[in-house]
């Protein structure tokens, strides 16, 4: 089974190019089937989740042409089925965006109940409530969610919780509904804005994305477009924290610094220098990090997808830190793994109390989910000795060429498949 083998101790130094945002790409790829004309998407991340979604789209007759690794042409004119089932789609969360997209276009869709990272219970009641408000009947049976409407008409939806997924799904279902839809208490994440911009470039009429009230006036049909996906805020943030934890000096390039403000603010608070330019952010960590408190919140708050990475940094800071997870209740599963590396962390319900230690030590550990996996890699990069990380398939869901990008910054990390590979790695790194 493939693992990452890491020899810690090198500060990360240099520049790294950030790819397109996975969580924007997943919604935008699904939305591209909403026109019969061909859509060109650029800056698509080549990660497992996007590839699984493209495979699901092909299974219903969508024509996908890979122009290069990050550019894809999509044509949804010859869709020949509205049922998306199969094991592969259950492994990702974003299969459910095809529900909104197909319901919006064909007024009917059936999609396997979504999977995704096991980070807590992940209800979809707000998606269902939104579809129903637009006039659809929604039924869950035999592991499928089935949505159908004779006629979709605009509705007024108040989201009970701030949800990225439901905001984007209802937005897709509403773009061709008759009349006006209003989504209140909408999510404001950059990927919500990116999806709205994408749909507007196809002829939709969406206003207010990025605020908590989104207004959608239904249009008759959507047309072809060429669109570039925004940079990945979480990939960028992960490298920024990798710089901090290894006491390095890393410039993340091809980013939108505004999207990284909550991450930069925390890095400054814990003693890093952060320099912003138009499309890059440099993080320099010259000394031991300071402790702090942080609570995950919807955008523009500190992202839940960065919670494990900041916890790994605070585990090496001076003093006691408190990390509160307010979005997903089961997102501390990495704590046991980090404890094997010498961290001192106590979890009480949705709060982790972290007593900073002087050093982590290499250990054999397992990635419990995508972001926690990336955070454990960072811990390994800072640890004394060798760390091996299993279940790297989780990390590959959302990070393109992660080991390669880290090696370009001076990290010693490799994918190994056998005990022999691991021994060779150990000999090489000394």
For the beta carbon of residue 244, count every other beta carbon within 10 angstroms. Answer: 29
Closer to ligand EPZ by CB, 343 or 395: give it. 395
Of 305, 325, 396, 414, the one binding ligand EPZ (CB under 6 A) is 305
> What distance in Å separates the CA atoms of residue 199 and residue 205, rounded to the nearest whole number?
8
Q: Cis peptide before 300, with omega less than 30 degrees from 0?
A: yes
Q: Is 123 in the site for ligand EPZ (CB under 6 A)?
A: yes
Which range of residues in 119-127, 203-211, 355-363, 375-383 is near ligand EPZ by CB under 6 A? Answer: 119-127
As measured in angstroms, the least distance from the Cβ of 154 to ligand EPZ is 20
Which range of residues in 40-48, 156-164, 284-292, 332-340 is near ligand EPZ by CB under 6 A? Answer: 156-164
Residue of 26, 29, 117, 196 with catalytic role = 117
112 three-state secondary structure: strand
307 and 369 Cβ atoms separated by less than 8 Å:
no
Cβ burial, residue 185 (10 Å; 0-12/13-18/19+): middle
Closer to ligand EPZ by CB, 356 or 373: give it. 373
Q: Is 371 in the site for ligand EPZ (CB under 6 A)?
A: yes
Closer to ligand EPZ by CB, 5 or 41: give it. 41
Angle at 2 between CA 370 and CA 335, to 5 degrees: 40
H or E element at residue 287: none
- Token representation of residue 22: 């996975």
Angle at 276 between CA 274 and CA 279, to 5 degrees: 135
Q: Given the structure tokens 């159908």, which residue do they identify?
A: 148
Query: In the window 218-277, what residues touch ligand EPZ (CB under 6 A)?
Result: none
Q: Is 184 in the site for ligand EPZ (CB under 6 A)?
A: no
Query: In the window 401-420, what residues touch ligand EPZ (CB under 6 A)?
Result: none
Cβ burial, residue 153 (10 Å; 0-12/13-18/19+): middle
Closer to ligand EPZ by CB, 196 or 285: give it. 196
Side by side, which strands form the sheet with 412-416?
364-366, 386-390, 3-7, 412-416
Q: Is 23 in the site for ligand EPZ (CB under 6 A)?
A: yes
Q: Is 117 among the catalytic positions?
A: yes
Of 239, 241, 302, 328, the one binding ligand EPZ (CB under 6 A) is 328
- Give backbone dihedrals phi and psi of 272, rounded to 5 degrees, phi first: -90, 160
Closer to ligand EPZ by CB, 110 or 235: give it. 235
- Token representation of residue 117: 């990272």
Of 35, 50, 126, 307, the one binding ligand EPZ (CB under 6 A) is 126
Of 31, 111, 117, 267, the one binding ligand EPZ (CB under 6 A) is 117
As measured in angstroms, the least distance from the Cβ of 161 to ligand EPZ is 4
Of 35, 50, 75, 304, the one binding ligand EPZ (CB under 6 A) is 304
Which candidate, 351, 331, 338, places its Cα nearest to that of 312?
Answer: 338
Q: Encode 380-415: b = buried (16+ Cβ within 10 Å), e = exposed.
A: bbbbebbbbbbbbebbbbbbbbbbebbeebebbbbe
Q: Is 164 in the site for ligand EPZ (CB under 6 A)?
A: yes
Instruction: Calculate Rg over the CA atoms of the chain.
Output: 22
145 and 113 Cβ atoms separated by less than 8 Å:
yes
- Give backbone dihedrals phi and psi of 428, rounded to 5 degrees, phi first: -65, -45
Start-to-end C-alpha separation, the chain: 23
Of 7, 48, 91, 93, the one binding ligand EPZ (CB under 6 A) is 93
Which range of residues in 105-113, 115-123, 194-202, 332-340 is near ligand EPZ by CB under 6 A? Answer: 115-123
Q: Is 166 in the site for ligand EPZ (CB under 6 A)?
A: yes
Q: Is 122 in the site for ligand EPZ (CB under 6 A)?
A: yes
Closer to ligand EPZ by CB, 227 or 328: give it. 328
Say which residues have a Cβ less than 8 Å from residue 56's Cβ, sequence separation at least 6. Answer: 84, 86, 88, 89, 95, 98
Closer to ligand EPZ by CB, 166 or 222: give it. 166
Q: Is 367 in the site for ligand EPZ (CB under 6 A)?
A: no
Which range of residues in 30-38, 160-168, 209-217, 316-324 is near ligand EPZ by CB under 6 A? Answer: 160-168
Of 165, 190, 380, 403, the one binding ligand EPZ (CB under 6 A) is 165
Which candidate, 368, 367, 338, places its Cα nearest to that of 355?
Answer: 338
Which position's Cβ is nearest ligand EPZ? 165
Q: Is 161 in the site for ligand EPZ (CB under 6 A)?
A: yes
**By the criterion CB under 6 A, which residues form the site for ligand EPZ?**
23, 26, 93-94, 117, 119, 122-127, 161, 163-166, 187, 304-305, 327-328, 370-371, 398
Residues annotated as part of the active site: 117
């Amino acid at each position: 089974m493939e693992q990452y083998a890491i020899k810690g101790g090198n500060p990360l130094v240099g520049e790294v190019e950030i790819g397109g945002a996975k969580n924007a790409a997943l919604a935008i790829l699904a939305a591209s089937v909403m026109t019969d004309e061909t859509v060109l998407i650029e800056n698509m991340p080549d990660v497992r989740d996007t590839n699984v979604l493209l495979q699901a789209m092909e299974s219903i007759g969508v024509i996908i042409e890979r122009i290069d690794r990050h550019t894809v042409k999509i044509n949804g004119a010859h869709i020949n089925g509205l049922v998306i089932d199969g094991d592969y789609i259950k492994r990702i969360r974003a299969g459910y965006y095809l529900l909104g997209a197909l319901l919006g276009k064909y007024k009917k869709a059936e999609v396997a109940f979504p999977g995704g990272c096991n980070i807590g219970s992940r209800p979809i009641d707000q998606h269902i409530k939104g579809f129903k408000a637009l006039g659809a009947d929604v039924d869950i049976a035999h592991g499928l969610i089935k949505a159908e409407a004779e006629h979709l008409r605009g509705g007024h939806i108040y989201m009970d919780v701030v949800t990225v997924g439901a905001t984007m799904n209802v937005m897709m279902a509403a773009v061709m509904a008759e009349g006006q839809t209003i989504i209140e208490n909408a999510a404001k994440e950059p990927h919500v804005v990116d999806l709205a911009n994408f749909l507007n470039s196809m002829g939709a009429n969406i206003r207010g994305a990025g605020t908590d009230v989104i207004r959608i006036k239904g249009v008759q049909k959507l047309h072809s477009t060429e669109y570039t996906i925004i940079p990945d805020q979480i990939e960028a943030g992960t490298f920024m924290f990798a710089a901090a934890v290894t006491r390095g000096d890393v410039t993340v390039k091809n980013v939108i610094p505004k999207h990284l403000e909550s991450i930069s603010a925390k890095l400054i608070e814990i003693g890093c220098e952060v320099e912003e330019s138009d499309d890059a952010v440099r993080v320099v960590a010259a000394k031991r990090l300071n402790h702090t408190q942080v609570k995950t919140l919807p955008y523009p708050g500190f992202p839940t997808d960065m919670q494990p990475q900041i916890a790994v940094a605070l585990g090496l800071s001076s003093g006691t830190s408190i990390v509160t997870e307010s979005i997903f209740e089961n997102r501390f599963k990495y704590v046991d793994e980090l404890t094997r590396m010498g961290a001192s962390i106590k979890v009480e319900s949705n709060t982790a109390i972290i007593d900073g230690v002087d050093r982590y030590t290499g250990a054999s550990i397992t990635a419990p989910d995508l972001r926690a996996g990336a955070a454990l890699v960072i811990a390994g990069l800072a640890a004394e000795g060798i760390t091996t990380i299993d279940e790297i398939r989780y990390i590959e869901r959302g990070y393109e060429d992660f080991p390669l990008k880290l090696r370009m910054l001076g990290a010693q990390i490799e994918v190994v498949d056998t005990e022999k590979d691991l021994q060779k790695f150990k000999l090489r790194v000394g």
